[in-house]
Structure 1
Amino acid sequence: MKKQLRMDCKYYIGEKPCVFGNDCPSCLSYYPIQKRILIIKLAALGDVLRTTAILKGLRKRYPASEIVWITRPNAQPLLKLVAGVDKVYSLSEESILTLSTERFDFVYNFDKEEVALSLAVQVSAGRKFGFSKNLFGRLDIFNSSSQYAQRLGVDDQLKFHNNTKSYVEIIYEMAELPYYGEKYDLTVPHKNLFTIQRLLEKHNVFENDFVVGINTGAGDKFQTKLYSPHAMVELCKIILEKTSAKVLLIGGEKEERYNQQLARQIASQRVVAPPSLAIPDFCALVQRCNILVSADSFAMHVGVAVGTYVVAFFGPTVASEVSFFGKGEKIIATAPCAPCYLQKCKWPVSCIQAIPPQRIWQAVEKGMGEPTLRKSKSQR
């Protein structure tokens, strides 16, 4: 009798041999999938990154599982740097059709976008967690353990002032998993670290240099997060005056010209404005920094994920949901109207602009005094 193909194996592909290339029915690398899990988190990049902390809890609970993640196309390269995801789908009509023909044991939806809610309802699964959609087309939840996350969206007093749980704690609660301080992290390939090393050497930033990165961007949604150009220049000048550090002005494609203008205005050979980079190289650049100064942004979350000491300032968004896992400092605006989650500020001086550069410098100076940061990363 002909032996059957073991199509429940984690390595089975179907249209071609698996990575081991052995005879399927007798392969010693057979790894049967016990549970299939779908995670839905589409955007934004920083939120996708910090949601990856859930992978450690899922792997502990279901070690012999296959974990599939669907996200927007711009986040796909990011998830390739994260351990624990077996397959990544880029959101499209094709991927939605594909998922509609499959069955999962568990679906975890941590996204409130309309398409995410609809997909979570549509996909076949034994049990679902997180955000859902009811028959009225309104945001709902699949499980009672997601009630707290739901309330955060409708209760400003709770979200802005009373909540003490981090985002990672909240999604663990939604997933009904015990939380033991799991953090999110990513692994930058050596080739990208090497690329950044060579790029910086062209600008006289070498392995033994202490590097302070200043992220000048904060995404498109909240312009109220941005620090003023004048304050950025003043902060850079303080760092240059009081230390021998090199300063990197970093950001995305939209900040590239702005950063170059700032660098010309500061007019110091110790200030470098690298070009905008693809996600793997950007993560390598942030990892090269000994200290990263940033608003609440994707760069901030990358800093947390790669172990860079982070100094972040918060105004319109909530600081309590962000955790640096003991390696960073939050500077929180003191304006009575903050946080507000408004995309435009109605006051002449926003809460972020009211934070003096000297206050940020104090946090940078404190970070430079940390024992693990007294030397450049290459010396550790």
Structure 2
Amino acid sequence: MSDLSGVTVHADCRYFRGDLPCRPNKEHGYICQSCPVYAPVQKRILLIKLGAIGDVIRTTPLLRRLRQEYPGCYITWLTLTPAILPQGEVDEILKFDFASSLQLMARHFDVAINLDKEKEACALLLKVEAPAKFGYTLREYDGVAWPQNEQAHHKFLTGVFDQLSLQNQKPYVQEIFELCGFDFRGEEYVFDTHEDKGYRWEALPEGRPRIGLNTGCGDRWTTRLWSDEKWIALITQLQAAGYAPVLLGGEAENARNQVLQAATGATYLGTFPLQQFINLMHQMDGIVTQVTMGMHISIALGKPTILMNNIFNPYEFDLYGRGQLVGPDKQCVCFYRGTCQLGTSCMEDLPAEKVFAAVQASVPV
């Protein structure tokens, strides 16, 4: 509490802004001296997780544990994709840019966590003031990413040696919990379904389990792609068994999804802004996806997720007991590679029947 010219100011309140009236003052006329919603911040926590979107999504289980371990904490999250974070669950969401970095370096936090090895993220953890730091920092004399604390050694090493990454049997979420000094207790993602936006989906089929088919995987790891022929085979099997396949994707998948719709009659509603796309996925009873943003959204929404994987360590993914992970019948030799060393991706050795069986086991008709 501070006193300025005889006026009480609760600058330690989670609602206090300093540059503008706080929301309780704006909405109800409350002033600090008699404010009934005064909520003093007990700990200030900085979380740096810049991108990509999927990695930001799968970092959200940390929010649950941070709230539990630090009651009354105020969480600031710095990211490249603010729109994906759940509004109301993070006290302060900052987009990574020069202005945000500048003000963060001038502030004090009780706990600072950086989960990215990008040099700019590591430099921020190095410069920000906090007695407890976790994750990755920047070595000043050579400018390389380096573990800040002993618990970060495991995750750091699996990221720089393929041999250790292949041996790893810990899901990503468990790794980042341990990096922060926590044991992982199955904390779920914190995510917004955007159901309150009132999106209307009259064109979606009714009366049958909807199986969302997320047909793309981005342009970085194209060895994950499944051919149109495989998707068509899966769609026809799903239709024959009483499921309602729904094609999902963004602009990069639009042409492919139109081809698949024309060949099978599967439902395809087009492309949508991110929040609307998330809500569309929320209407599904199960999701078939490769390792991509759609996978993270599906897990975050609590959907039975049938995950097709070839080039990544399967232990990396935690489906929370919902769905199944399926891989090619042929051993993949292209660990974390964007192009296939053998010329033809082993994803062509993942039969549609295998994916279909996983759908049946995860989402009964």
Structure 1 and Structure 2 fold alike (TM over 0.5): yes
What is the Cα deviation at residue 280 of structure 1?
1.4
Partner of 1:251: 249
Kept in 2, the 8 Å contact 1:316–1:351? The answer is no
**Identical pairs, percent:** 30
Return the match for 2:278 from 253, 278, 283: 283
Return the match for 2:48 from 37, 40, 44: 40
What is the Cα deviation at residue 339 of structure 1?
5.5
What is the Cα deviation at residue 204 of structure 1?
5.1
Q: How does 1:4-153 map to 2 (within 5 A)?
A: 4-21=8-25, 22-72=30-80, 75-80=81-86, 84-134=89-139, 135-153=141-159
Kept in 2, the 8 Å contact 1:56–1:84? The answer is no
Task: Normalising by structure 1, report the TM-score.
Answer: 0.89
Tell me how far apart the structure 2 counterparts of residues 204 and 141 of structure 1 sit (CA, whole Å): 48
Tell me how far apart the structure 2 counterparts of residues 247 and 344 of structure 1 sit (CA, whole Å): 29
What is the Cα deviation at residue 348 of structure 1?
3.2
Q: Is 1:365 paired with 2:346?
A: no
Gaps of 5+ in 1: 375-380
Kept in 2, the 8 Å contact 1:185–1:304? The answer is no
**RMSD value, Cα:** 1.7
Partner of 2:225: 226
Helix, strand or coil at the partner of 1:360: helix
After the TM superposition, which of the residue ranges 332-341 and 275-284 deviates more from structure 2? 332-341
Q: Is 1:166 paired with 2:171?
A: yes
Cα gap change, 1:204 to 1:138, in 2 (>3 Å): closer
What is the Cα deviation at residue 157 of structure 1?
2.5
Partner of 1:314: 309
Structure 2 letter corresponding to 1:236: I
Helix, strand or coil at the partner of 2:58: helix
Partner of 1:378: none
Helix, strand or coil at the partner of 2:216: coil
Cα deviation, 1:208-228, whole Å, max 9, x if unaligned, reads 442010001112211111111
After the TM superposition, which of the residue ranges 330-339 and 209-218 deviates more from structure 2? 330-339
What is the Cα deviation at residue 337 of structure 1?
3.9
Helix, strand or coil at the partner of 2:178: helix
Cα deviation, 1:338-369, whole Å, max 9, x if unaligned, reads 45100111223312221011110110111123
Gaps of 5+ in 2: none
Cα deviation, 1:251-285, whole Å, max 9, x if unaligned, reads 1121122211221122x2xx112222222111111
Kept in 2, the 8 Å contact 1:318–1:339? The answer is no
Kept in 1, the 8 Å contact 2:328–2:351? The answer is no
Kept in 2, the 8 Å contact 1:57–1:178? The answer is no
Tell me how far apart the structure 2 counterparts of residues 42 and 221 of structure 1 sit (CA, whole Å): 18
Kept in 1, the 8 Å contact 2:234–2:352? The answer is yes
Tell me how far apart the structure 2 counterparts of residues 307 and 276 of structure 1 sit (CA, whole Å): 22
Tell me how far apart the structure 1 counterparts of residues 334 and 320 of structure 2 sit (CA, whole Å): 22
What is the Cα deviation at residue 11 of structure 1?
0.7
